[in-house]
Chains A and B, each alone.
Chain A
Amino acid sequence: MADAAALGETARELREAYESGRTRSVAWRQAQLRGLLRLLQEKEAEAFRALHDDLGKHHAEAFRDEVGVLVKSANAALRELGRWMAPEKVWVPLIAFPASAQVVPEPLGVVLVFSCWNVPLGLSLEPLIGAVAAGNAVLLKPSELAPSTARFLGDNIGRYMDAAAVKVVQGGPEVGEQLMEHRWDKVLFTGSPRIARMVMAAASRHLTPVALELGGKCPCIFDSIAGARDLRFAVNRVVGAKWSPCAGQACIAIDYVLVEERFLPTLLKMLKSTLKSFFPEADHMARIVNARHFERLRALLKDTSVAASVVHGGSMDAKNLYIEPTILLNPPLDSAIMTEEIFGPLLPIITVKKIEDSVAFVRARPKPLAIYAFTGNASLRRRIEEETSSGSLVFNDAVVQYAIDALPFGGVGESGFGQYHGKYSFEMFSHRKAVMKRGYLIELMLRYPPWDESKVALMRHLYRFDYFSFVLRFLGLRR
C-alpha cells in the first residue's frame, strides 16, 4: 500500500519520464503495445486465475469479455497507430495564401486511470492501450476490490512495458484521494457516480480534464417476436447479456426488461428454459464480488412486495457469495431495485400495455449507458432512436457493442461523459493542436490600422470569400 510520499515520488518519476520525450516516438508506443500483447499471451493462465480468484469468472468468460477483447484492441492500435498519429491537413481560405493549416495530435502528458473491480483487467488495460498509443506516461490504479487482478497488474506491467513511464499503484479510496492531490494531464475514472463527483471536484482544482465512465439502469425493450427461431436467438442474447457478463455486475449488462403484458408468459417461459441450459452448474456464472455487494443485493429483495414479485430463482449462498439467476415480475417502481443500478443477477420484468409505452418509461428515467431493443418494428426502432438518449443503442442484441472498435464507448448525462475504444481511446488521451503556417510573400495592408471605410469595405468582401468583388474594389473598379 503506497503512502503519500511514495505517491509523490511516483508522480514525479512519471513526469520526468514524460519530459524526457521518449514516450513520443512511434517506436516507444509500438513497444508498449507489443509488450502488452506478450503479457496477455504469456501470462494468460495467471490472468484467468486472478479473475477467477476475484470474481469466480470462468476462463471462457474471462477470455470473451476481457483478455480476448484486449488482444483485439492492442492489435488494432498497432495497426492503426500511424494513421492516428498523422497530422490532418485542413482547408485554409485563399485570402490567407500562402498558408497551410493542420490539426496535430499530441500527448497530454501524464495521465491517471482509475479502473473498476468488475472487469478489472479490461477496464485497466483498454484505457492503457489508448494512453500509450497517444504517447503519454500512465499511472494505473486498479480497484482494490479485485485484489488478485490488481496484484497481477502490479507484478507484470513493469516487466512487459517501460517501467519508468507506465506504473501501477495499489490501494483503496485513501490512495485515490491522495493521488488526486497531484496534477495530472487527464484522469479517466470508471466506477460509481458518487466517487466520480469527488474525482471531478478534486480535478477542478488543477483544471485537469476528466472522463467519467459510469453506469445506470440499462433497459431492454423486448417486443413480441413472432418467429420461433428469432425468439430463441433473442432470448439467448438477453440471458447472455444479463447473467453471463460477471453475473450482471457490468455497466452495460441488461438491468431490467420491458415487455408487453400479453407476451410476458412466452418470454418468461423462454427465459427460464434458457437459464437452465446456459447455467447447468453454478461455476458458469461469476460470483458476487464481496460480502458488501452480496448484502446490498440481498437487501434489494427484503421489501415484502419486492420479495413477493420473485417468479424465478431467489436463492442465495452467502458463504460462496453466490446468487441464483433471479427474475422478478413488476416489483414496485419506487422500490430500490427499480431506482438503483442493480449490478447483479436479479432481473425485474416490467409489463406495459403496449410496447410503445416503453419509450416514455425509459425517457422518464436518467440516461443509461446503453439501451437495448429487440424488435422488428421499424417505426418503434425509429422512435426509440430519436426519443431516447443513452451512451449507446443496440437493436436485437446486447453488450456486443463493447467489442466494436469503430463505435465510441461512453455515457451521457448520469452515465458519464468522454468516450473511448478504438480511435476514440487515442483521442481521449490526446490534445488536438491547431497549427497554422504562413509565409511573408503577400501582405494585405487592409488588416492594419489606421482604419478607414475603404478598408472595412474590402474586408466585408473578404469575409464573405467574395474574391471577385474584392479584386474589383481593390483595383478601384467598384466603389
Chain B
Amino acid sequence: MEAATVAAEAALGQLRASFASGRTRPAAWRAAQLRGVLRMATEMEAEICAALRADLAKPCTEAYVHEISLVKSSCMFALKNLKKWMKPKKVPAGVLTFPSAARIAAEPLGVVLVISAWNYPFLLAIDPIIGAIAAGNAVVLKPSEIAPATSSLLANLLPRFVDGSCVRIVEGGVPETTALLEQKWDKIFYTGNGKVGRIVMNFAAKHLTPVVLELGGKCPVIVDSNVDLHVAAKRIASGKWGCNNGQACISPDFIITTKSFAPKLLDSLKKVLEKFYGKDPLLSADLSRIVNSNHFNRLRRLMDEEMVSDKIVFGGQSDQQELKIAPTLLLDVPLDSAIMKEEIFGPLLPIITVDKIHESFALINSMTKPLAAYIFTKNSRLQHQFERSISAGGMIINDTSVHLTNPHLPFGGVGESGMGAYHGTFSFDAFSHKKAVLARSFGIETKARYPPYTPAKLKILKSVLKGNLVAMIQAVLGCPRGA
C-alpha cells in the first residue's frame, strides 16, 4: 500500500509540474498528442488486436470495428474541431452592463484521472484520454487489471506515442487504484460498475473533485409485432452477442415482447444465431469469451438458479476450461430472479412476455434508469410514447448500440447508469472549465447601483432590471444627478 501511495504521489506531482509549466495549453501540443494516438492506433493495430484476443478472445473484426476504428475517428474528430473548441465564444452581455463584452472561454481543469474498464479495454482507456488532451489537461490513466494484456500494452505503447511528461499510466489493482483515488485530482473519469462508482465519488468528495461516472444497467429492448422481424433480430443479435458476447454496457440486457409475438421472435433469433455463429457456437471464432472465471461463475449462477434454468429455450452450453458460454435465450424467467435483478453482462438474453406491449413501459420504469433503452416498432405512436415515458442515457428506435458511434450525441447515463457524458464535443466539455469572462469599460457609470440609496435610484434600478428603455437611458446618462 505504501509503495502504491508513493507511486501515485509521484505521478501526480510530476504531472502537476508539467501542467503548471503551461506545456499542455497550446493547440500545437494537443494536436501533436492526438496525432500520436492516431498513429498508435494505426501502426499498432496488430498488437492491439492480439492483446484484446488474449484478454477477451475478442474477434479481430470486433477489435477493429468497436475499438480501434472508434479511437481513430475520435482522434480525427477532435483534431478537426480543436481550434473551434478552443476559441472563446462571444455571448450577448445584455443591457444591464452596457457597454461590455462577454465571452465564455474553455480552459483545462488541470490534472485528471481516467479509470477504465476491462470489456473495451483499449477504447475506454483512450477515448476519455482524447477528450482530456484535447481540453489541454495532463492525464493519469489507470487501465483495468482484469484486462492485463491490454493494460501492459498501453503502458508500453503510450509513452512511445505521446508526451510522457503529461500522460502517465499507473497499472495495478485495488491498492494502486485506492492510492490514486486518495490524491487530489481536478476531475475523475470512471467507467465501470455502480458499486465502485459510489466508492470513486466518495473519494472525490474529500477533495471536492467533480466526476464523470459511466456505469451500466439493464438495457431493455421492447419488441413490438409491427416490425421487420428478420432485420430486428439481426440488429438485436448484433448488439448483444456481437458486442463482446454481451459484456458491454449498452448491450441489450433483456427483451420485452407480447405473449403472442414471442414464439415468432424466438424463432427468428434462433435462426439468426445459427447463421452468425454456426451450429456449435462454442467453436465459433466470432464470439468473445467470458473475461475471467469470476464472471464465468457469476453467469453460470444466473443461469443455474432454480426457476430460471428450466426457462432456457436455446443455448445454455458452456465450457469452463475455455471460459466460453454460448448465446442463451430464456423465456419468462421470474422477475425477482437474480438474472432479472442484476446487470447480466454476458450472453444470456431473457425474454419477458406481457399481454399488451404498453405494459412494457411500467415494467421498465419499475427498474433503475439504464444506460440505453431500445424499441423495435414501426408504430410511430408507440415510438413517441417510448421516448416520452422512458428515461435512459440514450435510446434507439429500431436498432441497438449504434448511437455510441455518433460523435454528435452525448454518451452517458442518468440515475444509476451514471452522471456526465462524453464523445465528440462532450468529451472536450467534460474535461474543461467554461470560464465566464466579462470585459467592461469605464465609459458609462450607473450611479443608481451604489449607496446611499434613494427612492429615485431604486426606481431606476427597478426599471433597468425590468428592461424599461427610458429608465435605462436615464441610468446610462448617469441619473439621478446630485446623488
Residues of chain A touching chain B, judged by Cβ–Cβ distance below 8 Å, are 58-61, 63-64, 68-69, 71-72, 75, 90-93, 96, 101, 103-104, 106, 108-109, 185, 193, 196-198, 200-201, 203-205, 207, 209, 212, 214, 227, 229-230, 233-234, 236, 239-240, 244, 277-281, 284-285, 381, 385-387, 389-397, 400-401, 403-409, 412-414, 416-419, 431-440, 443, 447-451, 455-456, 459-460, 463-464
Contact = CB atoms under 8 A, between A and B. Distances in A.
B435 A406 contact: no
A64 B105 CA distance: 27
B449 A404 contact: no
B435 A278 contact: no
Interface stretch (B151-159, B173-181, B203-211, B317-325): B203-211
B406 to A, nearest CB: 6
B434 A419 contact: yes
Contacts of B60: 451, 456
Nearest to B61: A451
B293 interface: no
Secondary structure at the A interface, as helix, strand, loop or mixed, is mixed
A413 B186 contact: yes
25 contacts: A63-B461, A72-B467, A90-B406, A91-B408, A93-B406, A101-B403, A106-B391, A196-B208, A197-B205, A207-B198, A207-B415, A230-B442, A281-B452, A284-B453, A392-B436, A400-B96, A404-B436, A407-B436, A431-B391, A433-B414, A434-B395, A438-B397, A443-B231, A459-B64, A463-B69
A412 B394 contact: no
Contact of B436 (A93, A387, A409, A434): A409
Given A414-B208, A456-B64, A204 B202 contact: yes
Interface stretch (B28-36, B86-94, B345-353): B86-94
Contacts of B25: 386
Contacts of B224: none
B277 interface: yes
A436 B61 contact: no
Interface residues of B, number: 100
A395 B398 contact: no
A284 B208 contact: no
A68 B462 contact: yes
B396 interface: yes
B440 interface: yes
Given A207-B194, A412-B109, A459-B65, A450 B286 contact: yes
Nearest to B394: A434
A392 B437 CA distance: 6
B392 interface: yes
B445 A449 contact: no
B458 interface: yes
Nearest to A370: B436
Contacts of A401: 436, 438
Contact of B466 (A72, A204, A438): A72
Nearest to B388: A24
A60 B458 contact: yes
B397 A436 contact: yes
Nearest to A61: B453
Contact of B409 (A103, A198, A389): A103
B387 interface: yes
A201 to B, nearest CB: 4
A96 to B, nearest CB: 7
Nearest to B419: A209
B479 to A, nearest CB: 15
Contacts of A277: 452
B470 interface: no
A101 B415 CA distance: 22
Contacts of B333: none
A69 B450 contact: no
